[in-house]
Structure 1
Amino acid sequence: MARERILPGVSKVTIADVARAAEVSTATVSNVLNGTGRVSEPTRARVKAVAGALGYGPAGGGARTLGLAVTAHGESAWDFASVPYFAQAISAATIAAHRRGYALMAMPSGPAEHMWRTLPAAGVVLVDSPPSDPVVRLLRARGLPLVFDGRPGELRARETWVDTDHEAMTRRVLEHLAGQGAERIALIAGPTREYYTRASVTAYRRWCSSGGVRPCVVPFAEDGLAGPRLDALLTGDGRPDAVFGLYDPCGRQVLEAAARCGLSVPDDLMVVCSSEDPAYGRTAPPVSTVSLAPEQAGAAAVDALVSLVEKPPHTPPPVVIETRLEVRASSMRRSRRHT
């Protein structure tokens, strides 16, 4: 029979093991480690001592280690660290953790379930967590404090979130494009279901409804699959005269599709995308981008997580971070630039 692979030095202790050893219920263990509920001081001290001896939770071997995970694509393995937003957020989170005296582990995408059950961390930052995220369920079962980069569907004790105002960001981009003369703005969004995508699509549909404009939402596709989909969009009846893409590759994909279809950017088609990649300032033409402030988000998430770990049952309030629209030639019509 094949053996389950366990990381060196990582305990397989569960909350149930702590409960049995301390002769209490799992609910009592959770209350003690979360700083919630009514538990007598002798029982609280015994549970903490047992958890520490077994190496479970914040009292155990992960007391000065924090975890970070990007779970938008579930169990699918993907190289999120090569995306500028995540790379900058992880870097800022690592710096913030080190300043507070903690190590930070950035988990790979799609790790096996046992890795989450045994992750030696005092708490975890979850980036782009989708609804019904199985990782959230596993970490909650362990009683770990959580900070979400992106608003979750629900918050429990010792959980909070950090996020940008995606609705305001979407409206700002749409109003900028409309101010440059756009009448048919398409949105590239999904199929992922994290809060960022859902909130942006909702704001886009509301904006279209308020202006009596027919919405056009195009699912994002990786580079190998995006071409035919975008070509059909840009050559079909009622083609858009502007495109806003929610993800980093969208700007390049739309520029390439416009070139294939013989469209001039920005005269025939204006382009804006969300990205932290400075290379968009050097494309032909330079592409307007929205920054989601990953450095501020990563640092704020770690600061909130350390507060949850060190000051139970105190829960810091959610943090809303401002976005920034960098307007470049791709969304400035020549006729309007010269007026």
Structure 2
Amino acid sequence: MTRVPGPTIADVARAAEVSTATVSHALNGTGRVAEATRRRVRAVATALGYGGAPGTGPRTRPRTRTLGLAVTTFAGSPWDYVAVHYFSRWLTAATAAAHARGYALTTLPADRGAEALWHTLAVDGMLLLDSPAGDPVLRALRARGIPVVFDGRPAAPRPEDTWVDNDHAATTREVLDHLAASGARRVALHGGYGGEHYTRAVTEAYEGWCAERGRPPLPVRFDPDDTGGHAFDALFSGSAGPSGGAAADAVYSLYEPGGRQALAAAARHGLRVPEDLLLVCASEDPWYGSAPVPVSTVTLRPEPAARAAVAALLAVVEEPRAAVPGQRTVPAGLLVRASSRRPG
């Protein structure tokens, strides 16, 4: 236990993302301050132990030795990201890496309903996975000066930012070249759902690959609720585009449920995998390896990515002047199975 200097009104203002004048009005019950803002400022001041807040005084606090983790791609809605194999494995590896260095790891919910949480969270640093453009969680953490390391390139990285990511352009070209070598001529990309760097990078690489070969891109928008794969109906029937065309003969799906959706659609249209349709899915789900026709997958290697992110964050926390910003690249891997190898 160590006695630390009490927070100032400026600390409260930064954490609550308001001006010092607003803090003063909110705590003193003066001025024209929205009730929601007044409640938030008071909650932040109380959590920080600000001496000017009602019922607070100097407090003695230990260094937390705690890291936080949040997936903020769809922050604001209470979705269960732990049910996704990539995030589940990433979280497990990050927890082990943090514990090995003597730190606890707190996993935060996706739901931002309790807004004060991000303004009062007591952590030494945060791991943000798939942070989107305009991420309010990142804004709150930056305002408080809490170190952050990202899994996935942030939307607008600063010179001092650090992140861990794969080379998505190289991986996409590897997948597409493999499908072409297996006989594919009309490869559809099943993605376009998230706003994170992963989706944008893969889509750009796919469109570039198609342009180089004079092939029209065949985008299919992923929908997590489309369990029957109805988004594929036009492509699998050969009626895609304003004037129709030949049916897609291969699919690269970017999200874990996408491979199952493509298989459901193929079965409905009477397409055999791999004889009529080649399939690759980016997923860590072990089911794909044991499916009736084992599905080729791209692994983003969550365990080494998590370990690299924790190591980078602790470098920023413990030796900020020696920390080297920028990207740490973890190679992805294509696991080729029967679904993307055409017989003969």
TM-score, structure 2 as length reference: 0.79
1:177-202, Cα deviation, whole Å (9 max, x unpaired)? 00001000000112211011110001
- Counterparts in 2 of 1:16-35, with a 5 A limit? 16-17=10-11
Cα distance in 1 for partners of 2:339, 2:314 equals: 41
- In structure 1, how many angstroms separate the alpha carbons of the residues matched to 2:88 and 2:298? 16
Other structure's SS at 2:255 match: coil
Name the CA distance, whole Å, in 2 between partners of 1:120 and 1:195: 28
Kept after mapping to 1: 8 A contact 2:133/2:156: no
Decide which of 241, 253, 269 is 2:261's aligned counterpart: 253
Gaps of 5+ in 1: 1-12, 27-51
* Superposed displacement of residue 232, structure 1: 2.9
Find the counterpart in structure 2 of residue 67 from structure 1: 68
| Equivalent residues of 1:247, 1:274 under 8 A apart | yes
Matched, 1:334 2:343: yes
Q: Which runs of 5+ in 2 are unaligned?
A: 1-6, 21-47, 52-59, 240-245
- Is the contact between residue 164 and residue 320 of structure 1 (CA under 8 Å) also seen in structure 2? yes
Instruction: Check 1:192–1:208 CA distance in 2 against 1; reply closer, same or farther (3 A cut).
Output: same
Return the alpha-carbon distance in structure 2 between the equivalents of residues 96 and 148 of structure 1: 16
- 2:8 and 2:50 in contact (8 A); partners too: no
How many residues align? The count is 292
- Structure 1 stretches of at least 4 aligned residues deviating more than 4 Å after TM superposition: 52-55, 59-62
Between the aligned partners of 1:255 and 1:76, the Cα distance in structure 2 is: 28
Q: Offset at 1:16? A: 2.2
User: Equivalent residue of 1:334, what SS?
Assistant: coil
For 1:132-143, list aligned pairs within 5 A: 132-143=134-145
Residues 51-79 of structure 1: CA deviation (Å, up to 9, x unaligned): x9869xxx965630001110111312211
User: 2:226·2:261 contact (CA, 8 Å) conserved in 1?
Assistant: no
SS at match of 1:272: strand
Q: Secondary structure at the match of 1:301?
A: helix
C-alpha distance in structure 2 between counterparts of 1:188 and 1:171, whole Å? 15
Q: Give 2:39's aligned residue.
A: none
Task: Output the CA distance in 2 between the equivalents of 1:94 and 1:124.
Answer: 13
Change (3 A) 1:272 1:314: same
Corresponding residue of 2:313: 305
Aligned to 1:44: none
Alpha-carbon distance between aligned partners in 2 of 1:213 and 1:325, rounded to the nearest angstrom: 23
Does the 8 A contact of 1:223 with 1:253 survive in 2?
A: no
Q: Percent identity?
A: 53
1:18 is displaced (CA, Å) by 6.1
Letter aligned with residue 320 of structure 1: T
TM-score, scaled to structure 1: 0.81
Cα distance in structure 2, aligned partners of 1:232 and 1:126: 37
**For 1:90-101, what aligned pairs fall within 5 Å after superposition?**
90-101=91-102
Higher helix share: 1
The amino acid across from 1:332 in the alignment is R
Structure 1: how far apart are the matches of 2:63 and 2:153?
26
Partner of 2:196: 194
Superposed counterparts of 1:269-308, under 5 Å: 269-308=277-316
